[in-house]
């Protein structure tokens, strides 16, 4: 849990600079670092205004994204669409109007991997590490401002594993993150890759010491390949933007990676929060598992007990049956998500939510499980203010 409380703006920015320096992180490597620090400082000096009416709100939204203005300027496109604008007041209004009492925040793609065209690997690494720290400090400040409305998942500077472990430790122990968020690939490296094992081992150790679990949110991103002399470039085979389908295939690749490389069996205290109802994985799962007969039984058990799939859509009422009917995943593993604000303008959020609300194959008790009970069971007091 966080050991930090709200601080005066200058004290906060001094603390961020000092802890970064102590961690050998050079924030000044980013040309927008002053703007980023000022935006965090502005959050710290915000006086919480009267909130919208949350008296009838019960839902927990497990898939939402904050977008600092400097991050939006850095990444003006998201999966081929304009990156949406975001602010706290609009997010709170959205929550209240849709019966959401708490949102779990996680920075969306590309996380800190915003410098893949940088040919100098050392410079790319330093920028990635610095951006991860600034993004985590920003989201942590939102949580400190409204702890009863927001929990959050920290990001890391993967694929730089040593630095990722250091950032995970800082975010979980000092900033109060409720878990970690990783992308389906980081500079082309998928989460089951053996090079990531030290990170998973660190999280496994925390889970064992705490007698519980560690939650890892897996979010889709662009597939990439390294081109010598150029850097990393998008490798999607379709001319269509990634949000229309490639993200679903990326999600399937990530789950396949975790399975094939035995990450699921090696780190049994990690619980995996999977985006968009597991994307394309339900359609390929049986064929894929034919190639991993020694792991298939244990993998199927994990899919039904340590994987948690959100409804950010459109998952209900049709796609979800690939999980519930095809893979026999119980309703206890389904959680509610909206993908706010990225989903706005892509799909009708009200229709997306109605797909779950009107699902005739779920009882009212089961819908309540999806809306909030399962999320409470997954995170426990890590998201309960």
Q: What is the pLDDT of residues 185-214, one digit of tens each?
A: 999 999 999 999 999 999 999 999 987 899
Task: Single out the residue of 228, 290, 289, 224 nearest to residue 259, CA to CA.
Answer: 289
CATH topology assigned to domain 60-382 = TIM Barrel (3.20.20)
pLDDT at 382 over 50: yes
Mean pLDDT value across the chain = 94
Identify which has the larger pLDDT, 119 or 71.
71
Q: Report residue 110 CA to chain centroid gap.
A: 11
C-alpha torsion 42→47→48→50, nearest 10:
-130
Q: Report residue 355 CA to chain centroid gap.
A: 23
pLDDT at site 156: 98
Pure H helices in the chain: 9-22, 33-44, 69-74, 88-97, 121-145, 161-173, 197-210, 246-260, 263-266, 281-289, 293-305, 321, 349-357, 364-368, 374-379
Region 155-180: what's the mean pLDDT?
Answer: 98
pLDDT tens by residue, 317-329? 999 999 999 999 9
Task: Single out the residue of 338, 259, 264, 276 nearest to residue 306, CA to CA.
Answer: 264
The mean-pLDDT minimum among 38-47, 288-297, 353-362 falls in: 38-47
Rounded CA separation 221/7 (Å): 34
pLDDT at 333 over 80: yes
pLDDT at site 10: 84
pLDDT at site 385: 62
Other C-beta atoms within 10 Å of 84: how many? 18
Please tell me what DSSP assigns to residue 239.
S
pLDDT at 5 over 60: no
pLDDT at site 3: 46
Region 244-258: what's the mean pLDDT?
Answer: 96
Contacts 24+ apart (CB under 8 A), 360-369: 360/317, 361/317, 361/321, 361/324, 362/331, 366/331, 368/58, 369/331, 369/332, 369/334
Strand bridging mode 307-310 / 334-335: parallel
Name the percent of the chain lying above pLDDT 70. Answer: 97
3-class secondary-structure state, position 214: strand
Please tell me what DSSP assigns to residue 337.
-
Can you state the angle between helices 121-145 and 9-22, rounded to 10 degrees? 140
Region 279-300: what's the mean pLDDT?
Answer: 96
* pTM as predicted: 0.95
Report, in angstroms and rounded to the nearest whole number, the Rg of the chain calculated over CA atoms.
Answer: 20
pLDDT at site 7: 66
pLDDT tens by residue, 223-245? 998 888 777 888 888 888 888 88
pLDDT at site 1: 43
3-class secondary-structure state, position 68: coil
- Rounded to the nearest 5 degrees, what angle is found at the Cα of 342, between the Cα atoms of 65 and 316? 100
């Amino acid at each position: 849990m966080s050991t930090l409380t709200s601080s005066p703006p200058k004290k906060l920015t001094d603390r961020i600079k000092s802890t970064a320096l102590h961690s050998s992180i050079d924030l000044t490597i980013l040309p927008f670092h002053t703007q980023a620090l000022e935006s965090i400082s502005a959050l710290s000096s915000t006086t919480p205004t009267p909130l919208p009416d949350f008296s009838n709100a019960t839902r927990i939204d497990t898939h939402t994204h904050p977008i600092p203005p400097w991050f939006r300027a850095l990444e003006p496109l998201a999966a081929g669409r304009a990156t949406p604008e975001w602010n706290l007041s609009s997010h709170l209004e959205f929550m209240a109007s849709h019966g959401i009492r708490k949102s779990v925040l996680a920075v969306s793609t590309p996380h800190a991997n915003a410098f893949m065209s940088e040919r100098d690997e050392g410079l790319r690494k330093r920028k990635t590490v610095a951006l991860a720290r600034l993004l985590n400090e920003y989201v942590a400040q939102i949580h400190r401002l409204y702890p009863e409305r927001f929990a959050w998942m920290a990001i890391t500077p993967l694929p730089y594993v040593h630095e990722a472990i250091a950032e995970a430790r800082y975010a979980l122990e000092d900033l109060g993150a409720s878990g970690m968020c990783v992308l389906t690939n980081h500079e082309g490296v998928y989460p089951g890759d053996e090079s990531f094992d030290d990170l998973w081992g660190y999280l496994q150790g925390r889970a064992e010491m705490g007698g519980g679990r560690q939650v890892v949110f897996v979010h889709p991103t662009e597939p990439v390949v390294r081109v010598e002399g150029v850097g990393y470039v998008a490798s999607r085979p379709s001319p269509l933007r990634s949000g229309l389908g490639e993200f679903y295939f990326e999600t399937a690749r990530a789950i396949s990676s975790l399975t094939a490389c035995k990450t699921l069996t090696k780190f049994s205290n990690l619980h995996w929060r999977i985006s968009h109802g597991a994307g394309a994985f339900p359609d390929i799962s049986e064929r894929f598992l034919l190639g991993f007969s020694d792991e298939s039984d244990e993998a199927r058990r994990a899919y039904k007990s340590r994987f948690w799939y959100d409804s950010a859509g459109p998952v209900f009422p049709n796609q979800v049956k690939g999980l519930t009917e095809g893979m026999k995943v119980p309703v206890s593993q389904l959680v509610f998500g909206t993908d706010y604000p990225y989903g706005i303008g892509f799909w009708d959020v009200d229709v997306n939510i109605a797909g779950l609300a009107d699902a005739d194959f779920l009882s009212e008790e089961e819908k309540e499980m999806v809306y909030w009970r399962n999320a409470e069971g997954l995170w426990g007091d890590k998201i309960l203010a």
